[in-house]
Amino acid sequence: MTTKRQDERGSHLVKSIKRSDFRQGVWHVKSESQPNVEYRVLYESAACACTCAAFRLHQPEWCKHIWAVHEFVSENTDMAPIGPTPAPVGRYRDWAEYHKSRAWQIEQVETLMAELCRPLTTPIASPKGGRPRNPVADVVYTLVLRAYCNFPGRRFPRLLSSILEHALTKGAITRVPGASSAQSCLGEGWMESLLTELILSTSFPFRSLETIIAVDCSGFLGSRRQNYTKRKTGGKGRERGWKRAHIMCGVRTGIITAAIVTDAHDHDSPLLPPLLEMTCQRFKVKEVLGDSAYASARNFEAILAKGAKPYINFRKNAKGAKPGAWRETFLYYRDHHAEWQEHYRRRRMVEAVWSATKRMFGERLRSKGDVAAQNELLLKLLCYNLCCLIRCIHEFGIEPEFTNGSMNGQNGWRIQRPE
């Protein structure tokens, strides 16, 4: 129900609760550190909820305010609640903090990107020699800001330049890269590993919050057409080239913990072990949720080897004939389906991640090159992680940490990342 620490802290709050604090079906409990702040506590047999950040962060576990109300009601058994009782709610959200995070989001994105790009000081070496080109930090800062604003490369050069000039005056960048220079760097092969590390670095502040991870993939439409052969008729046709993004995300906050971008026809199942390996470097994973595309004995063994439990859906014609991890997981799925469903239903968070990413940053890739389109998709995922981090900073009070350890990459660039 609650931890021992919350139990003890809730006992101190019981003395401050009065019968008059129950108004309109909700308890009003004063904050322990800020006497002028009150939290609304819904205490019913069907559901309990509180508007404090601790409950939103650790729900369904009780916070100290709910525990204090519980002790007060237990001591006053003759008390009959008066007034309308609201319907049970599943999750409270502080909308004032949420609107604040959205209203000033672009300024906070600039601040976080300046912190992330600060270690990237090595200029890009020109293959033909000559003077050094734009610094890596300035190029990455420009590409992320352009992806966040969803600007095409040629349609808004002045508007983007004005934003970058403002960043130059604040010291976030050292120079303003040109649109063509930034776009040419987007097609470089080393940009993929750099953007992947930045995505993983933005998930590091959530390492103590996320223990249940969901895996899924989704397609993004490309801008160029590619030849293909029709399987049925044998004729030739043309289809738009598109990419697939494979991610793992936390089910509590929706932060992306690992990401891999592949071609259109790469299957989902073989990519679960590398995604899980990337996630376990920073997170202690207890459960892995996925749809039937990831149902394979190899994936079950990889999850169990990390000390986690697989909650992956099976196909309708699946049977438990295979020995080992497959049979063990299938028997639990068949014999305890109601309990299994309680865990699996939290997988819906990964669908919300795809919806938010495509609504905010677009589901179409503008880059024509294969490598550039792949890196553009990674930029969209990085922008989503930055927005998720900003929202959780306001709602949960998370402190961003990016510089623990270092890693030297190829082509001379350097980035600080968590161990």
Residue ranges of domains in the chain: 4-92, 95-205+368-419, 210-365
The rounded distance, in Å, linking the Cα atoms of 404 and 118 is 13
Residue 229 clears pLDDT 50, i.e. is over it = no
Cα–Cα distance for residue pair 116/264, rounded to 1 Å: 30
Cα separation of 17 and 27, whole Å?
Answer: 9
Q: Which stretch of 4-18, 276-290, 322-336, 354-368 has the lowest confidence by average pLDDT? A: 4-18
Q: What is the mean pLDDT of the chain?
A: 79
How many Cβ atoms sit within 10 Å of the Cβ of residue 187?
17
More confident residue, 283 or 7: 283
Please determine, for residue 323, whether its predicted confidence score (pLDDT) is greater than 60.
Answer: yes
Instruction: Say how many CA atoms lie within 13 Å of 73 toward its Cβ.
Output: 17
- In 170-255, the DSSP E strands lie at 212-229, 236-250
What's the mean pLDDT in 314-323? 83
Q: Which two tokens stand for residue 246?
A: 């494979």
Mean pLDDT, residues 299-306 taken together: 94
Residue 215 in tokens: 């895996």
- Other residues' Cβ atoms within 10 Å of the Cβ of residue 224: 14
Q: What is the pLDDT of residue 353?
A: 95
Alpha-carbon gap, residue 143 to 382, rounded angstroms: 11
210-365 belongs to CATH 3.30.70? no
pLDDT score at 78: 62
Question: 367 or 195: which carries more pLDDT confidence?
Answer: 195
Instruction: Decide which of 332 and 105 is more confident.
Output: 332
- Both structure tokens of 244: 């697939």
Q: Which residues pair with 227 in a beta bridge?
A: 238
pLDDT given at position 93: 62
State pTM to two decimals.
Answer: 0.72
Q: By three-state DSSP, how is residue 48 classified?
A: strand
Listed in sequence order, the residues at least 6 apart from 417 whose beta carbon sits closer than 8 Å to its beta carbon are 197, 200, 201, 204, 402, 404, 405, 406, 407
CB 411 within 8 A of CB 124: yes
